[in-house]
A and B are shown apart, each in its own frame.
Chain A
Amino acid sequence: MEYKPVNNANETGGKVVFAEDVVATIASLAASEVEGVYGMSGSTFEGLGEKLGKKNYTKGIKVEVGTVECAVDMTLIVKYGYRIQEVCQNVQQAVKNAIENMTGLNVVEVNISVNSVVFAEEKKVEEAPKPVEQPNRVK
């Protein structure tokens, strides 16, 4: 993992450094909150970790972090029925705002690649398991 210093040296003379994964995670969370986004589309290798039960927040996201700027490339899965142009525009704006607000880095580019579209019947319905009724221990 590469750490890049950010040019925000404060009065104490220290420097704040952001790992690329941190910026990628911020981007991922911001994008997944946008309406119409189903998720991130990563490589088979990236998906392997998730199959093993480890949540990968940086799946499908590449970031370049400079001293004061950063650029983001992300691959998305979009829900069918939403206008893809609008979804992309909203994701770009959401990611840009989130990174700029949280890190102070200037986001120069958010490039999006829509790799897949999911239809309603393909959605994985993850129903919460019904709680097993326990018999009352006391009257």
Chain B
Amino acid sequence: MKILDKILIGILSVFAAAFGIALISAAIGWPISSAVLQRMIEGLQNFWISVLVCVCALIIIAIAVRLLIALFRKDSNRPNKVTVLKSDTGESFMTVSALNSIVGRIVRGNPSVRDFKTYVKTNGETVDIKAMVTALSGVQIPVLTEQLQGAIRNSVENYTGVKVEHVEVVVSATENEPEKAKTRVA
């Protein structure tokens, strides 16, 4: 998601929250809300205030439309499929999300990994894989990263037939294993 979209979602959320609060306060009959509403209705009779309110409403509608379009827009610059097989009968592709789930499965299978996040990028033919992992403390990190790199490359190439260009493993944190609760009785 782009930063602009995040900002727009933030603005829209503030408006939605304010609208929700106004509705609730009107419903339960808060005196402050009726006074504010009265003042707003009186204010709308002024031409310039009406114009200002209309402009605000149009901006909110524009933000909502922009976000809706962003929701259904596909990122056309980056292919989201990688070619698995080309034959006389046709072509076979695999989506990046399917590939990502395989990578996740491989990383999760390593007992020294506590938590992880994986990213797969493709140019349509080959893939670059990045795994951000939280390792158990006490683990030899060079050994772990080497294990993960090898496992990811071998498994992806073996299962999918897709060439893996780069595998980047980043150990972003280490974490202690949670202590088991001690039993008070024998």
> CB-defined interface of A31-45 with B at 8 Å, one 1/0 digit per residue?
000000000000000
* Smallest Cβ-Cβ distance to A107: which chain B residue: B89
Q: Which residues of A contact B101 (CB under 8 A)?
A: 116-117, 119
Task: Decide yes or no: A84 and B161 within 8 Å by CB, A114-B98, A117-B101 being known contacts.
Answer: yes
Judge if A24 is at the interface, Cβ distance under 8 Å. Answer: no
CB contacts between A and B, total, < 8 Å: 72
Task: Decide yes or no: A115 and B98 within 8 Å by CB, A83-B158, A92-B87 being known contacts.
Answer: yes
Q: Which residues of B contact A112 (CB under 8 A)?
A: 85, 90-93
* Smallest Cβ-Cβ distance to B89: which chain A residue: A92
Complex Cα spacing A81 to B53, Å = 60
Judge if A85 is at the interface, Cβ distance under 8 Å. Answer: yes
A14 to chain B, nearest CB (A): 31
* Smallest Cβ-Cβ distance to A71: which chain B residue: B90
Judge if A89 is at the interface, Cβ distance under 8 Å. Answer: yes
A119 to chain B, nearest CB (A): 6
Is the Cβ of B161 less than 8 Å from the Cβ of A83? yes
Q: Which residues of A contact B94 (CB under 8 A)?
A: 84, 113-114
Judge if A67 is at the interface, Cβ distance under 8 Å. Answer: no
Q: List 26 A-B contacts (CB under 8 A).
A: A71-B90, A78-B98, A80-B159, A81-B159, A82-B159, A83-B160, A84-B92, A84-B161, A85-B85, A85-B92, A85-B161, A88-B84, A88-B92, A92-B87, A92-B89, A92-B90, A92-B92, A109-B90, A111-B91, A111-B93, A112-B92, A114-B84, A115-B97, A116-B95, A116-B97, A117-B101
Extra inter-chain contacts (6) besides given A83-B158, A112-B91, A116-B95, CB under 8 Å: A81-B159, A84-B159, A85-B85, A85-B161, A113-B95, A114-B95
Which positions in A face B, CB cutoff 8 Å? 71-72, 78, 80-85, 88-89, 92-93, 96, 107, 109-117, 119
Which positions in B face A, CB cutoff 8 Å? 81, 84-85, 87, 89-95, 97-98, 101-102, 105, 158-161
